[in-house]
Structure 1
């Protein structure tokens, strides 16, 4: 049996643009900004659409089920990116996958904006899940192609600004859709998200011709002899979803748990496949071993962060007074404080990393700092929720909590992207990005389960558990930073 050797493509450095970043980073960043505008514009009002009464334009779903749906939706969005990464690596070039995804997401937002009730909700969310799966990992892979061959410092700075664009979209989206929902209703807010996604599509169409040649190539083409098997698996998967939904096996109260289980299975399959593949070298395998703890802890970190869409949304509806005189503070604006804090702190942190150069903290240390900071955020929430008893929590204090929690993301999110695109095996480049995004799938679905737990136990006990989790995991990473860092640097 002969083995076909893959000849690595020639690495051609992308020239610097006027900003000093590799040319093309900003084009992808602005595309991602508008895509995240639409995603978070919807995410900012989705939980409240489920929780609010029919008279207020909502669907009047009970809190535990609403938390499960929101968590499962977020998890499914990122879980679908595993499929998108595989398609971008084996069947369709990343550049084309991004274009297909943009069209599907736009359609999903349009459905949500014009079709009322559970039908519009279900159809719209499914389209957005599928479209985001096609777009998200592949656009990140393209950024990886753009910064390929550049120094780790330049990569971290590029991904920090790319991640800042994500957070700008995450800020502006809920600010505008939240205002629209507050003034005119939920479906007007959904419509504004659709316009934002159309902006992402236009931005990408303009920049497609300037992308690196590797973005138009299929990295690891699937043999045509295996096409029938892939088609059979796809049909079987669709049939399985239909069966478990129609028979009642898949319900609102177990959606988040099901999504978490699927994300863990997908992650395990990816790690096993890469670690046992003959195409993966010994040093690449060592880097994967070093990445495993970061993957797991990052998933838990995002579970804590994404509670702003589940447990914290429930807390807001129950214990926050939104009336400021005769004006009602848009509820979606509260969660916006989290990504806004990340946006404002990113340039400062990026400059700090640039100034420190080789003396900057390792990726493992940065992860540890992020986990400890979000633990501090929930400790603060524990203190203020206990001090206020059963009374309303002042709006300013919940906004401050969002700032503390949201600014911690700069130590985890962009660093995870940078590490994944650098340490991944050459034969699994796009799929490595998909694996990294599984941390968001785990986090989103975990936040749904945490939201359900929040409805069953007392708030002080709940916030103590969450805060302690952040502190303990962060300290474990700081203690193990040297051996983990050694594994991550293997062969580099």
Structure 2
């Protein structure tokens, strides 16, 4: 069953034309869009909520114990790598997830459609976690990181698209639906490190990885039994490849895999420099995308101006996440060696500090949202909020200065680290919700999806840089590092706030 509507348009020269737009909304999709059984939202939102909850549970659970798994000694159940190498690997892994969102979106648009891409991606995540749980050593690690990174990127790129498919365009309920959806992310991000870290602390690393696999498997089982309730539009392939072109992706994949294998065998690429490689690749991709945007004849002069004005925000986003993602690498190792985690006679698992960060975000988000709602038109611009987030993030690193010269181990109080986690979470909250919004605002009509992809690439760049920066940390001389990280946040924030007004004016100009 389909719906056809007529739209009157007025073109230059005074000629009135009637354009017939065939919307083709199936009866099933219409019923879903009118459904209000889940807190006033369509019931399929609950099923997507469940899948994304378990995916974030497994992702943050893995992230929370990955660094210590890499550098703990073999007798302690780890791989015995140096802390610097461990930090670099964790950073590159996190960045690869964001690069993989571009591939996940492409696979959905050209090969499988949203519903199947989400399913295949989730299965890849489970395979990755199982590899870590059952195959210790570097081989299991490599398989695990590849599968969980690309699987996680596929889920991340398409789960939000599934949510959007539940609503008619410009639905007043859509924003509330996305608030519920993002709740699944924050709850999963909070519980993942707590439960996975507890399993690792009490039973061992492989039980922690196994718990992450069980969580994602539960999400897949629920998805299998409920995906029939998703909109028909989620099963469609929007822009399918022609039969002749279907072998091209496989051919490209073989070339890329062969190139990576050669780089690994020759030593050009190794675990010690993987974050540097991802930094270069992310910068190259951003430059290439911008080259396409700015030289295209499909964008107008105003669109080109808006796209250029967006560059400082991309740079600031990369800097902010270069600081933010250190919670999974450097700050995880710091928590192990320098933080007093004793509560009475019980020692808090290392990963629970990351859980504190997630809980702080969950607890703070409603208050910040209420503040922006109250301020309405008087609230700062999105570009200025980005500038505010940077010094807050920088302050989170200056918190460690009083304990930089401590002679005894584990001298940093847990409450002090909790303050740092709160500031990192607050800095992210000031930026995270406005980033995609800015990207959609400035995006040329011909490059909407690609512009959002470039924004995610700036986050990937930030993640990779967090590993590059973390390798400069010297536990015997901490003061220069904490001061440098704080200075980066304050200087970048001051620069972003200084140019926020003129860049916002250019980003918001209309054709």
TM over 0.5: yes
Verify the 8 A CA contact 1:308 1:335 in the aligned structure 2: yes
In structure 2, the residue matched to 1:106 is 126
Verify the 8 A CA contact 2:264 2:270 in the aligned structure 1: yes
* TM-score normalized with structure 1 length: 0.89
Q: Could you report, residue by residue, the CA deviation over 1:7-33 in whole angstroms, capped at 9, with x for unpaired residues?
A: 998598955846466876555344222
Q: Could you report, residue by residue, the CA deviation over 1:437-484 in whole angstroms, capped at 9, with x for unpaired residues?
A: 223311221111111111388311111111111112222222222222
In structure 2, the residue matched to 1:56 is 76
Verify the 8 A CA contact 2:306 2:507 in the aligned structure 1: yes
How far did 1:213 drift? 5.2
Partner of 1:453: helix, strand, or coil? coil
Distance 2:226 2:431 in 1: 28
Q: Which moved more, 1:29-38 or 1:301-310?
A: 29-38
Larger proportion of helix: 1
- The correspondence of residues 19-418 of structure 1 with structure 2, limited to 5 A, is 19=39, 27-146=47-166, 149-150=169-170, 159-205=178-224, 208-212=227-231, 214-382=233-401, 384-386=402-404, 388=406, 392-418=411-437
Distance 1:192 1:239 in 2: 33
Q: 1:143 to 1:357 in 2, by over 3 A?
A: farther
How far did 1:183 drift? 0.6
1:478 aligns with 2:497: yes
How far did 1:179 drift? 0.5
Gaps of 5+ in 1: 1-6
In structure 2, the residue matched to 1:424 is 443
> What is the root-mean-square deviation in Å for CA atoms of aligned residues?
2.9
In structure 1, the residue matched to 2:10 is none
Q: 1:488 to 1:210 in 2, by over 3 A?
A: farther
Q: Which moved more, 1:158-167 or 1:306-315?
A: 158-167
How far did 1:189 drift? 0.4
Distance 2:162 2:446 in 1: 15
Distance 1:159 1:261 in 2: 33
Distance 2:177 2:305 in 1: 26
Distance 1:8 1:93 in 2: 23
Q: Which moved more, 1:169-178 or 1:450-459?
A: 450-459
Verify the 8 A CA contact 1:161 1:346 in the aligned structure 2: no
Q: 1:314 to 1:56 in 2, by over 3 A?
A: same
Partner of 1:347: helix, strand, or coil? helix
Q: 1:332 to 1:411 in 2, by over 3 A?
A: same
Q: Could you report, residue by residue, the CA deviation over 1:57-94 in whole angstroms, capped at 9, with x for unpaired residues?
A: 11111111111111111122222222222222333322
Gaps of 5+ in 2: 1-19
Partner of 1:454: helix, strand, or coil? coil
Q: Which moved more, 1:77-86 or 1:459-468?
A: 77-86
Distance 2:173 2:159 in 1: 18
Q: 1:448 to 1:11 in 2, by over 3 A?
A: farther
* TM-score normalized with structure 2 length: 0.85
Distance 2:21 2:191 in 1: 40
Q: Could you report, residue by residue, the CA deviation over 1:157-209 in whole angstroms, capped at 9, with x for unpaired residues?
A: 65555434322211100000000111100000001101111233234445544
Which one has more relative contact order, counting CA pairs under 8 Å at least 6 apart? 1
Q: 1:332 to 1:352 in 2, by over 3 A?
A: same
The structure that has the greater radius of gyration is 2
